Homo-oligomer: A and B are copies of this chain.
Amino acid sequence: MIKAGIIGATGYAGAELAKLLKAHPQVDLLWLGSRSYKGQPYSSVYMNMRKIADEDCRSEDMNELAKEADVIFTATPQGFCASNINKEILESAKVIDLSADFRFKDVNVYEKWYGRTHEAPEYLEEAVYGLCEINRDKIKNARLIANPGCYTTCSILSLYPLVKDGLIDPATIIIDAKSGTSGAGRSAKTDNLFCEVNENIKAYSPVVHRHTPEIEEQLSYAAGCAVMLNFTPHLVPMNRGILVTAYASLVSGVTDADIEACYRKYYEDEYFIRLLAPGQCAQTRWVEGSNYTDIGFITDPRTGRIIVMSALDNLVKGAAGSAVQNMNILFGLPETCGLETFPAFP
């Protein structure tokens, strides 16, 4: 059994992780860390976990946790992991960080987009960007995994094959994304009150959203050149789900058959990716509660563009599920272990 601990177990992503790890057949979840609820029964915070996780919440002390655990998940605000990680921790436990702290190779990108000083730039080089479908081999031997962002996972999986194989012009990429409200976290802000979110849709942080450089960096590796794009997230009145609608100009001569073949080449054997028939539109309801990403596309012969539409559950494949998938790879388990839950509908 893998001994696992979570720091930040009472946020929405942390809670999803707690749920997945409690149900994981190879994991002993021994630490539910929470700054706000330390000392209180976990199931008094998340009452769905009554009879399942009635133990008290523990502290956010990573050093202490590292002594007990084989793997530490940090589902914490930006900066926490970078401020707390150290040599001793990394020598005794694998670390899977769900924040953005170790997602960039260039510390300047992080510091510019996140507006904060990085406390542990010395680990940026060794950290592995944990997008399993793409970096599986590098993940295997890593000590520190930078678990990708929710929007990022959906965006990169949507476009990676097309960029990698040169089917689209990377200078024309526009990503219009829509997210359920759990992506905004559980802290008490007026903007996230029921009455403010319900019966509304809005874009937020257009042009400057922090997932932009993360998508760009990964697509740049695929393209072999610097990619710059527009990414516009929107807040949707629903709990879960991310939908990406991505636009790009096709390279001249590329056919629907080429595109299908390209997606199949990269994803046909991927358990957690479901390719839709050409013209079919992905919908968040079909992936809710699961680790799947559904990917579909359509092309427009009039404008020469492709529209890629993809959906995933922001708390599962976009956060906790992906983190568990990374753990499975790190510990040599089947990648699907503990992640086979079918999507729930309605």
Q: Which residues of A contact B (CB under 8 A)?
A: 12, 15, 19, 22-23, 46-52, 174, 176, 178, 180-182, 186-190, 192-204, 206-207, 228-230, 232, 234, 236-241, 243, 245, 247, 274, 281-290, 292, 294, 298-300, 302-303, 305, 307, 309, 340-346
Contact = CB atoms under 8 A, between A and B. Distances in A.
A282 B202 contact: yes
B346 A303 contact: no
Contact of A303 (B181, B230, B287): B230
A245 B176 contact: yes
A174 B285 contact: no
A200 B313 CA distance: 11
A93 B188 CA distance: 38
A193 B188 contact: yes
B52 A342 contact: yes
Given A288-B48, A307-B232, A346 B199 contact: yes
Given A46-B345, A305-B230, A202 B238 contact: no
A243 to B, nearest CB: 5
15 contacts: A48-B285, A48-B344, A50-B274, A176-B247, A181-B195, A186-B190, A195-B346, A196-B346, A198-B239, A199-B239, A200-B285, A203-B245, A207-B298, A289-B289, A289-B344
B48 A206 contact: no
B236 A236 contact: yes
A188 B186 contact: no
A237 B194 contact: yes
A51 B274 contact: yes
A174 B246 CA distance: 11
A174 B249 CA distance: 11
A181 to B, nearest CB: 4
B199 A197 contact: no
Contact of A178 (B186, B201, B292): B201
Contacts of A192: 193-195
A170 B192 CA distance: 36
Q: Give the most central of A47, A49, A199, A202: most B CB within 10 Å.
A: A199
B238 A200 contact: yes
B343 A199 contact: no
Contact of A202 (B199, B274, B284, B341): B284
A47 B207 CA distance: 22
Given A245-B232, A342-B49, A343-B48, A207 B237 contact: no
Q: Give the most central of A204, A284, A344: most B CB within 10 Å.
A: A344
A238 to B, nearest CB: 5
Contact of A207 (B49, B243, B300): B300
B302 A228 contact: yes
Contacts of A22: 342
B240 A238 contact: no
A12 B195 contact: yes
Contact of A346 (B182, B292, B345): B182
A240 B288 CA distance: 14
Contacts of A193: 181, 186, 188, 192-194
